[in-house]
Structure 1
Amino acid sequence: MGAVEIGALLRGARCAARLTQTEVGQACDYSASAVSRIESGKLHIDYPTLLKFAAFLRIAPEQLRASAVPGMTNVATVAGDCRSVEEDEVRRRELLTGVVAAGATAVVGAGPAGAAPVDLDVALFRLPQAEPMPLPRLVAQIAVARRDYCAAQYARLGQTLPGLIAAATATRDASTGRAREEANLALARSYVLAAELATKQHSDAAWVAADRALAAARCSGIPVAVGEASRQLAIAMRRSGRSTAAVHLLTKDAEDLDASRDHTGAVRTTLLLTGAYSAATGRDRSTAMALLEEAEQETERHPAVPGLFTVEATRTQVDAYRISVLNVLGTPDEAVTVANRLNIDRIPTAERRARAWTDIARMWNALGDGQQTFCALRQVERAAPQEVRRPALRALTAGLLYGPTRIEGVREFAARTGALAG
């Protein structure tokens, strides 16, 4: 199989998964243009890199014939030790079998015992039957669901969300006046959680959930809810390759908010941060850095409001986003100073702590420091075990396992987190 055939295989798997070249590149530490060149056969990649792409795109082992690819380095010569070709072939099969098996069951970890993984693409169009419930009870259940998300308990959240959305819909439909507005607020926030989870799963259901969240939020008349839903819609737009449109939506909504009020000021900060990252994915460095600076100024003017969003509007969070932005812009060396001053323990939720450590892992990986990358990945696992089982992180782990440097503990970590069959 030559480079053109390899490229066609990767392109087909990407399209089948409904992923953009930008998303694949971010997961495998390549630019979107480099992914395009790989898919067209114009850029040759070595076998460890091919493994990273295969792991992320869930390409079955039998589809790969890397040993026959002209110009590709055999893994046995890369590792620099005395393993035989046969031993390396066994390791390849174990890795890819483990990745495909883990991806086939669930993206973000196993569900409750005996429960099938929730397919949000189906669940959002076939909600279960539900009866209206008192608003205080509904709000309390949504608060519990939000805590599950912030604690990175994605499997449990996935089992809960369809019923919660159905109950919120029934409650909204049975309400009038002010109660209906409050029910719309509850419905919007339940759909926001669905959009957040769908984004973790690389699912197109994020578009559906975000659109429904925004419709309900606008009916509620609550600016915070509108901002929260708009952020999710912008993330869905960005992940489909529409970074410029996402930045426009976020900055327009940020301008429309009354920044003199603490609550809306905090929302504005969060929209600016997401806008900065969206601009970076579109390779617009000047806009990305300007939005980061504006967000930092907002944190100085307005205190964070705990629990307002799943992202806190704090200086610490601005620094975490700054690392993300610099990684995406291809300048991870500029992020090292930021990472060194970042106190991740000050981030209040497991999901955000895991995200910060993920970005630090990507930073060190881009800089070629496998040991530091592995240390950061272990911190992700410590903060949120389900987070480290996501496809992008399994691909990062695969890269370490088959990289040029042997790192003690990586194989066990790969087996434990689903990147390698146990």
Structure 2
Amino acid sequence: MDGIRTAQEIGAELRAARCRMRLTQAEVGKAVGYSASAVSRLEAGRMRLEYDRLLALAASLGIPADRLTATPVPGRAVVGTVGRPADEEDAVRRRNLLTGAVAIGVTATIGAPSAAAAAAGGDPATGLEDYLFRLPSAAPVPLGRLVQETAGARSDFRAARYTDLGRALPGLLAAASATWEEARGHEREKANVALARVYVLAAELALKQHSDAAWAAADRALTAARASGHPVPIGEASRVLAITMRRSGNCPTAVRHLTREAQELDTGQAQTAAVRTTLMLTAAYSAATGGDRSAALDLLGAAEEETTRREAAVPPGLFTVDATRTQVDVYRIGVLNALGTPDEGVNVARRINIASMPTPERRARAWTDTARMWHSLGNGRQTFAALRHVEQEAPQEVRRPALRALTSDLLYAPVRVPGVREFAVRTGASPAWRRTRRPVPAQPWCGRADTAGGG
């Protein structure tokens, strides 16, 4: 192909086309199967491709074939360009190029576990710290699409599909950040809400896996939420930040933070009242974890009164948690467990209709607290029955570090419970797991052990 232009000239064409479409080298590389560094070398003229591969790359960027040769190629055009203005063609080609790529992060794999690692019990939060501090490259996306993809990630969390969520988060965070940077006026306000909620999801996933990345994600969520000025995302972000405070052993600070945020919410609107309820429930559990029985029960009672006032209305859907009477009862079991009086939760557990709870993640959380209650009471069979319910509701939930630890305790209990050993192997809590995986380090929990991963 003697008519091909020099590598430097072709590189300049590739770079110009990419910039015209407002794409990064990483985005182009991911969409066509090259690394960002390979695209960089191509644009600098330091790397050559075979002609058919060069044509394919050029076509993806909307470069006519005759721009790659020293002499025009008669009648040669990129498929799909006829009849469209240049700007429209660029926009269409850019959308096509980014379908499924890192711009929105639906299939992003940076910092995410492989399918094989997930099948072997890999941590869905692997790489969270890395990509929180160095997001992958991404281009801004329309706000409507960002909101839609955020809703999809929220669905993964609520369905306890943590591996899928871990894969999606890097690109979604990058796209949300890029969109926020370019947004102005009212659009920036909306972008802040979306960005806050993506960081809330990152914090929730990190909390589930006992990752220190929860601190950074929760702090960024609250910063973006406050910038939006909307009370609901502020409350959502405040809740996950307070959980990180509790996890670090600072229960009193968590309680003060939550109660202060709850007091500032307007209870005249259904959704803000529901957020206030979730803040009080988390504050109750935090107080109980710190050993403050009086404050824990007072906050729990206040949350119950709030739900009673709203029980005639359909509870509004919140982002990751709920504010219903059933949810209050689940928290009551958790509070009583944390206070060291699990026997007081037995009647509460018997009256709860866990099946009525709206999401697998919340149902699994309810069964988890029930399992802890029976475990504290020394009833291995009931503990195992509750753990089996967790597995039925959300298979990935039962592989979390806290639940594997509970399963391991059950496995080595003096009284053997049929089926536990098989369950331990299936969920990664078997002796083989203990030999091959690094144990979760001890944390400076305040008061009794706080392993719920929620709250």
Per the TM superposition, whether the score is higher than 0.5 is yes
- How is 1:208-227 mapped onto 2 (pairs within 5 angstroms)? 208-227=216-235
1:273 aligns to 2:281 (yes or no): yes
Q: Does the 8 Å CA contact 2:197/2:221 hold for their aligned counterparts?
A: yes
Note closer, same or farther for the CA distance 1:110–1:260 as it changes in structure 2 (3 Å cut). farther
Q: In structure 2, what is the Cα distance between the partners aligned to 1:193 and 1:314?
A: 21
Other-structure match for 2:108: none
Q: In structure 2, what is the Cα distance between the partners aligned to 1:272 and 1:378?
A: 30
Q: In structure 2, what is the Cα distance between the partners aligned to 1:173 and 1:316?
A: 41
Q: TM-score scaled to structure 1, two decimals? A: 0.72
Q: In structure 2, what is the Cα distance between the partners aligned to 1:204 and 1:409?
A: 34
Q: Does the 8 Å CA contact 1:332/1:367 hold for their aligned counterparts?
A: yes
Q: In structure 1, what is the Cα distance between the partners aligned to 2:254 and 2:412?
A: 36
Larger radius of gyration: 2
Residue type of the partner of 1:111?
A
- How is 1:240-255 mapped onto 2 (pairs within 5 angstroms)? 240-255=248-263
Q: Deviations over 1:338-374 (max 9, x none)?
A: 0000110011111111111011111001101000000
Q: In structure 2, what is the Cα distance between the partners aligned to 1:110 and 1:247?
A: 37
Other-structure match for 1:197: 205
Q: Does the 8 Å CA contact 1:127/1:166 hold for their aligned counterparts?
A: yes
Q: In structure 2, what is the Cα distance between the partners aligned to 1:360 and 1:408?
A: 19
Note closer, same or farther for the CA distance 1:347–1:110 as it changes in structure 2 (3 Å cut). farther
- How is 1:358-397 mapped onto 2 (pairs within 5 angstroms)? 358-397=368-407
Q: In structure 1, what is the Cα distance between the partners aligned to 2:302 and 2:178?
A: 40
Q: In structure 1, what is the Cα distance between the partners aligned to 2:360 and 2:264?
A: 31
Residue type of the partner of 1:197?
L
Q: Deviations over 1:230-270 (max 9, x none)?
A: 11110000000000000000000000011111111001000
Q: Does the 8 Å CA contact 1:210/1:229 hold for their aligned counterparts?
A: yes
Residue type of the partner of 2:249?
G
Residue type of the partner of 2:118?
G
Q: CA deviation at 1:309?
A: 2.7
Q: In structure 1, what is the Cα distance between the partners aligned to 2:226 and 2:118?
A: 33
Flag the structure with more relative contact order, 1 or 2, with Cα contacts below 8 A and sequence separation at least 6. 1
Work out the percentage of aligned pairs sharing the same amino acid: 65
Unaligned 5+ segments in structure 2 are 1-111, 434-455
Residue type of the partner of 2:357?
I
Q: Does the 8 Å CA contact 2:189/2:228 hold for their aligned counterparts?
A: yes
Q: 1:149 aligns with which of 119, 136, 157?
A: 157
Q: CA deviation at 1:112?
A: 7.8
Other-structure match for 1:289: 297
Q: CA deviation at 1:307?
A: 2.9
Other-structure match for 1:188: 196
Q: In structure 1, what is the Cα distance between the partners aligned to 2:225 and 2:410?
A: 43
Q: In structure 2, what is the Cα distance between the partners aligned to 1:110 and 1:251?
A: 40
Unaligned 5+ segments in structure 1 are 1-104
Note closer, same or farther for the CA distance 1:169–1:358 as it changes in structure 2 (3 Å cut). same
Kindly report the root-mean-square deviation, in angstroms, between the aligned alpha carbons of the 2 structures: 1.9
Q: CA deviation at 1:123?
A: 1.4
Q: Deviations over 1:58-86 (max 9, x none)?
A: xxxxxxxxxxxxxxxxxxxxxxxxxxxxx
Other-structure match for 1:348: 358
Other-structure match for 1:111: 118
Q: In structure 1, what is the Cα distance between the partners aligned to 2:253 and 2:117?
A: 35
Q: In structure 2, what is the Cα distance between the partners aligned to 1:274 and 1:190?
A: 20
Q: In structure 2, what is the Cα distance between the partners aligned to 1:184 and 1:391?
A: 32
Determine helix, strand or coil for the equivalent of 1:249: helix
Residue type of the partner of 2:354?
I
Other-structure match for 2:22: none
Q: In structure 1, what is the Cα distance between the partners aligned to 2:423 and 2:119?
A: 22
Other-structure match for 1:78: none
Other-structure match for 1:262: 270
Other-structure match for 2:421: 411
Q: In structure 1, what is the Cα distance between the partners aligned to 2:158 and 2:117?
A: 17
Q: CA deviation at 1:110?
A: 4.5
Q: Does the 8 Å CA contact 2:270/2:316 hold for their aligned counterparts?
A: no
- How is 1:8-407 mapped onto 2 (pairs within 5 angstroms)? 110-111=117-118, 118-302=126-310, 303=313, 305-407=315-417
Q: Does the 8 Å CA contact 2:262/2:276 hold for their aligned counterparts?
A: yes
Q: Which of the two has greater helix per residue?
A: 1
Q: Does the 8 Å CA contact 1:304/1:314 hold for their aligned counterparts?
A: no
Q: CA deviation at 1:177?
A: 0.2
